[in-house]
């Protein structure tokens, strides 16, 4: 086979898809340097204002469509763009440039926008990436209007099934995609644990990320065969290759039928070991899917989407409304709310955060919340108020010190007393647990267990910090291995520390959704796993297929392995008598819609 037709990346969301490519190029219009006569200046300023009004109307329209399709929270990603487009200081600077230099509106607007881009890019701050994306979107839309080009928003104008190809898939772009027609995603940047990958995984859209050269190699309209499990991309597939893909899809469809049959069956191993399976909920639309797939509660309710792309922090009432909504849906089963994991590129636009050389090792997560109690207290109050009606728990991210847990308990006590004095119905306390996601937390896990009601392992960050591998770096994707012996040993240590104090220990990271790694976790002794809603059926199926004793022996052999490959091989040999390994290689979380044979012509 001609290897020029084959691209490889990281399979981040399993499934097979075949469709024409929809290439999204973030290219700015070619704006000529154009001067105008002095008497034309006022007309240029009027054109600028009219273009801004048109763009704002367009953004409001997009926000309404997202509101109808996904919900209120997701629609707020456009608020920052709307405010940015209407920024009076910026527009005044553009108008000044028009008047002082007799420039056309598009020439002056591009000049000032490029100034800001250069300023923000030069800071090296990762938290400005999202704002740069917003700025790029505004810049392109305004220039298109000013220059009279009539280019539609690609994400909303897909009329037939396609595979989207982009340099980088931002969370905002991913939310906008027409999910009825976008059957696959390809990105030059990103890894399986990047935010966009997690969203694609949750939606059940086959996706490959970290595929360098994809934009250059894939022309618009090219027929693309994508395997979101292996990360293999085939351009202009032959009839034989399509036949092989059909066979794979047929096998997957048979597997999905098996998975559907266990949806409401208990998650019990053949030899009687009960495993509690919960759902990770990132977006409101995942609630129904988690319930349909038999989630026994929410093991991780992320709260960052409440602030991402917004210009202000959510109020106590907004948070309470959302917590009640989720808790009511799952009652009487528990919901574990992770407190704000702010930091990195997840600061709201209005938050005055410092610029840091490495924000992912800096001021983030619990550190922000404890240093800025005005941010933390409303969330604590909302959780306490929800806990008066439903079984909700609080989980603290990126804990590395015992005193961080102590200080959180103090704040909880203070807010509970304040609510009581105000006569507001609220729980006097709430179960507080710790996310174990750093080697530091593992080392002091015995002490953290004494001040925590539960542990939940965040395997994504634990792997990242243990192996010193940026999980968002596509170049290092092959080194990001949660089955690495260094990680596996820590998993054993965390469980031992929790069991010694009699507290519940679970895993809420992405590794729990991988069938072989789930076998490892069960074999180590974990009884509670929390995964993205589409992965629940696959996980329930594997639990019911492989006896606990076989999982235990496989885990023991995995602990003896010296390499990540050795760990994987020990697990494969352990499950081989009970599961067809070919099915495991094909296995994918059952999406909201089947990945079915219709995707392959």
* CA 65 centroid distance within chain: 21
Helix axes 88-101, 41-69, angle to 10 degrees: 150
CA distance 34 to 36: 7
CA distance 554 to 178: 42
Choosing from 195, 201, 369, 551, the catalytic residue is 195
Q: Please say whether the beta carbons of 12 and 207 come within 8 A.
A: yes
CA distance 92 to 320: 40
Where residue 77 falls (left for φ over 0; alpha for ψ -120 to 50; beta otherwise) is alpha
CA distance 90 to 84: 9
Q: Please say whether the beta carbons of 517 and 529 come within 8 A.
A: no
- The candidate with the shortest Cα–Cα distance to 73, out of 299, 292, 304, is 304
* 369: annotated active-site residue: no
Q: Please say whether the beta carbons of 536 and 295 come within 8 A.
A: yes
SS3 140: helix
* CA 478 centroid distance within chain: 20
SS3 336: strand
Rg (CA), the chain: 25
Choosing from 18, 162, 369, 508, the catalytic residue is 508
- The candidate with the shortest Cα–Cα distance to 531, out of 551, 515, 546, is 515
SS3 187: strand
Beta bridge partners of 101: none
Peptide bond between residue 9 and the one before it cis (omega within 30 degrees of 0):
no
Beta bridge partners of 396: 434
CA distance 522 to 547: 10
Residue 150, both tokens: 């009539």
SS (H, E, C) 263-326: CCCCCECCCCCECEEEEEECCCCHHHHHHHCCCCCEEEECCHHHCCCCCCCCCHHHHHHHHHHH
Torsion of CA 37, 41, 42, 44, to 10 degrees: 110
SS3 14: coil
What is each CA distance from 339 to 361, 452, 498, in whole angstroms? 18, 15, 21
Which residues are catalytically annotated? 195, 508
């Amino acid at each position: 086979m001609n290897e020029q037709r084959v691209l490889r990346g990281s399979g981040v969301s399993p499934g097979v898809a075949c469709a024409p490519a929809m290439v999204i190029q973030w290219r700015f219009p070619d704006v000529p340097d154009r001067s105008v006569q002095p008497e034309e200046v006022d007309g240029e300023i009027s054109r600028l204002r009219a273009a801004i009004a048109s763009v704002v109307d367009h953004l409001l329209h997009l926000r309404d469509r997202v509101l109808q399709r996904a919900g209120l929270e997701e629609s707020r990603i456009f608020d920052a763009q709307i405010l940015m487009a209407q920024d009076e200081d910026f527009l005044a600077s553009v108008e000044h440039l028009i008047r002082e230099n007799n420039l056309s509106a598009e020439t002056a607007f591009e000049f000032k926008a490029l100034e800001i881009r250069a300023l923000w890019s030069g800071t090296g701050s990762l938290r400005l990436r999202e704002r740069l994306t917003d700025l790029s979107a505004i810049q392109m839309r305004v220039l298109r209007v000013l220059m009279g080009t009539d280019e539609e928003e690609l994400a909303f104008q897909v009329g037939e099934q396609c595979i989207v190809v982009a340099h980088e898939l931002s969370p905002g772009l991913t939310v906008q995609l027409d999910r009825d027609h976008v059957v696959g995603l390809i990105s030059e940047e990103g890894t399986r644990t990047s935010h966009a990958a997690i969203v694609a995984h949750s939606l059940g859209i086959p996706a490959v990320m970290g595929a360098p050269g994809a934009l250059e190699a894939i022309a618009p309209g090219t027929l693309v065969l994508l395997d979101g499990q292996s990360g293999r991309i085939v351009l202009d597939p032959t009839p034989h290759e399509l036949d092989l893909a059909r066979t794979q899809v047929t096998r997957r469809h048979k597997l999905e039928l098996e998975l559907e049959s266990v949806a409401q069956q208990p998650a019990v191993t053949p030899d009687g070991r009960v495993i509690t399976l919960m759902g990770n909920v990132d977006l409101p639309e995942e609630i129904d899917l988690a319930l349909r797939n038999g989630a026994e509660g929410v093991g991780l309710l992320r709260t960052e989407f409440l602030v991402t792309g917004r210009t202000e922090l959510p109020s106590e009432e907004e948070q309470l409304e959302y917590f009640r909504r989720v808790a009511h849906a799952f009652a009487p089963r528990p919901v574990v709310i992770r407190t704000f994991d702010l930091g990195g590129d997840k600061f709201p636009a209005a938050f005055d955060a410092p610029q840091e050389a490495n924000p992912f090792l800096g001021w983030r997560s619990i550190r922000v919340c404890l240093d800025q109690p005005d941010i933390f207290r409303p969330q604590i109050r909302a959780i306490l108020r929800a806990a008066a009606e439903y079984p909700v728990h609080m989980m603290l991210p990126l804990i590395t010190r015992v005193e961080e847990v102590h200080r959180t308990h103090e704040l909880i006590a203070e807010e509970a007393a304040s609510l009581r004095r105000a006569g507001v119905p609220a729980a006097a306390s709430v179960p507080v647990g710790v996310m174990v996601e750093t080697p530091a937390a593992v080392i002091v896990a015995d002490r953290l267990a004494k001040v925590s009601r539960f542990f939940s392992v965040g395997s994504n960050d634990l792997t990242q910090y243990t192996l010193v591998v940026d999980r968002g770096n596509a170049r290092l994707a092959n080194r990001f291995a949660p089955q690495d012996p260094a990680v596996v040993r820590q998993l054993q240590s965390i469980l031992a520390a929790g069991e010694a104090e009699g507290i519940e220990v679970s895993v809420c990271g992405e590794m729990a959704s991988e069938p072989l790694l789930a076998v490892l976790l069960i074999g180590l002794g974990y009884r509670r796993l929390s995964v993205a809603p589409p992965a629940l059926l696959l996980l329930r199926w594997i639990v019911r297929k492989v006896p606990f004793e076989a999982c235990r022996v496989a885990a023991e052999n995995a602990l003896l392995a010296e390499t990540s490959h050795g760990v994987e091989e020990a697990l494969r040999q352990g499950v081989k008598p009970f599961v067809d390994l070919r099915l495991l290689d094909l296995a994918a979380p059952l999406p909201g819609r089947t990945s079915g044979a219709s995707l392959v012509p």
